[in-house]
């Protein structure tokens, strides 16, 4: 770990990008961290399909695969990207070279993930500044940046969520998933009482079960943490989800009339109905890279 951090510092120092003192970018669009307490609840599925749905409606969307170790959005999008965040961190490529266009969905881009980004927190402030200068421009003109985070309460996940303007907390109806969602929300609220986190219930039997799951969690949150927990919607359990994974095409594209696709469309509606919070992606990179420095 020490070696990797030292190497990254050295490589970041050698990066050709100019220092962040003169960022050539605006503050960018809405940054939404899609996260969960427990793994396997559908984060990647939500990022791929919500991203595709927003792009189909004409929005410029970038999905960032930040599930270090389990990065798999490239597979869901049927891409075989040559470069990823790891290559960028190692100074092997420019930021623009890690951006992959999702061929099946015009307007949707992917920044493929890599385990090397784990070392982000170990970079010194000069390294962080250089990385900021490299990363901010790739998302500056995007309307939505969706981040597929790892599961759990690890530092990387919490930092990503707090740096993003909005958090989409995904859970399924299983008690373990709900308890872990509560645990993650508790930590997020402790670190930032103003964090804007909303719940998305995935793999519900039907809308009624999903609403029940939200009501149950919202009640516990109200009692023990104070404040409510807004819902952004319910996605039903749907065989089209795994079928679309096999076809390596988002289900909103492969099966636009499937129940899961209609539900994702409703989530997109809900997202578009609510205004962006101040901050934008420029602010996101600054906040993220400032963590720990």
Q: Which residues bind ligand ADP (CB under 6 A)?
A: 36, 39-45, 202-203, 235, 237-238, 241-242, 245, 260
Compare residues 38 and 43 and give the one whose CB is closer to Mg ion.
Answer: 43
Q: Cα separations (Å) of 142 from 48, 50, 58, 90, 205?
A: 16, 15, 11, 25, 34
Cβ neighbours, 10 Å, residue 14: 10
Q: At its nearest, how many Å lie between Mg ion and the CB of residue 47?
A: 8
Which of ligand ADP, Mg ion, none is residue 49 near (CB under 5 to 8 Å by kind)? Answer: none
What DSSP assignment string belongs to 240-284?
HHHHHHHHTS-HHHH-TTSHHHHHHHHHHHHHHHSPPPTTHHHHH
User: Residue 230: beta bridge partners?
Assistant: 198
Per CB under 5 A, residues contacting Mg ion are 43-44, 67
Compare residues 109 and 245 and give the one whose CB is closer to ligand ADP.
Answer: 245
Compare residues 45 and 109 and give the one whose CB is closer to Mg ion.
Answer: 45
Q: At its nearest, how many Å lie between ligand ADP and the CB of residue 46?
A: 7
Compare residues 85 and 157 and give the one whose CB is closer to ligand ADP.
Answer: 157
Which of Mg ion, ligand ADP, none is residue 245 near (CB under 5 to 8 Å by kind)? Answer: ligand ADP
The secondary structure of the chain in percent helix, strand, coil, rounded to multiples of 5, reads 50, 15, 35
Q: At its nearest, how many Å lie between ligand ADP and the CB of residue 201?
A: 10
Q: At its nearest, how many Å lie between ligand ADP and the CB of residue 150?
A: 9
Helices 125-139/2-14 angle, 10° precision? 60
Cα 61 to Cα 58: distance, rounded to the nearest angstrom = 9
Which of ligand ADP, Mg ion, none is residue 45 near (CB under 5 to 8 Å by kind)? Answer: ligand ADP
Are 167 and 63 contacting, i.e. CB atoms less than 8 angstroms apart? no
Which of ligand ADP, Mg ion, none is residue 159 near (CB under 5 to 8 Å by kind)? Answer: none
């Amino acid at each position: 770990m020490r070696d990797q951090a030292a190497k990254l510092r050295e490589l970041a120092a050698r990066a050709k990008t100019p220092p962040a003192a003169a960022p050539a970018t605006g503050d960018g669009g809405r940054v939404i961290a899609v996260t969960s307490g427990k793994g396997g609840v559908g984060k990647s599925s939500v990022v791929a399909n919500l991203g595709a749905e927003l792009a189909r409606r004409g929005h410029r969307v970038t999905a960032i695969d930040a599930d270090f170790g389990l990065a798999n959005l490239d597979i869901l999008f049927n891409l075989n990207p040559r470069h990823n965040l790891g290559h960028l961190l190692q100074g092997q490529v420019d930021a623009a070279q890690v951006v992959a266009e999702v061929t099946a969905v015009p307007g949707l881009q992917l920044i493929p993930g890599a385990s090397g980004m784990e070392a982000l927190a170990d970079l010194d402030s000069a390294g962080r500044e250089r990385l900021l200068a490299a990363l901010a421009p790739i998302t500056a003109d995007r309307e939505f940046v969706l981040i597929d985070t790892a599961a759990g309460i690890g530092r990387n996940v919490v930092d990503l969520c707090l740096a993003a303007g909005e958090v989409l907390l995904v859970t399924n109806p299983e008690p373990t998933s709900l308890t872990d969602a509560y645990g993650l929300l508790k930590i997020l609220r402790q670190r930032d009482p103003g964090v804007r986190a909303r719940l998305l219930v995935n793999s519900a039997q039907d809308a009624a079960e999903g609403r029940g799951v939200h009501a149950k969690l919202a009640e516990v949150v109200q009692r023990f943490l104070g404040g409510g927990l807004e819902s952004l919607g319910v996605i039903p359990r749907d065989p089209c989800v795994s079928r679309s994974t096999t076809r390596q095409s988002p289900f909103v594209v492969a099966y636009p009339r499937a129940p899961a696709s209609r539900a994702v469309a409703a989530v997109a509606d809900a997202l578009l109905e609510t205004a962006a919070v101040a901050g934008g992606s420029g602010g996101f990179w600054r906040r993220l890279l400032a963590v720990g420095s």
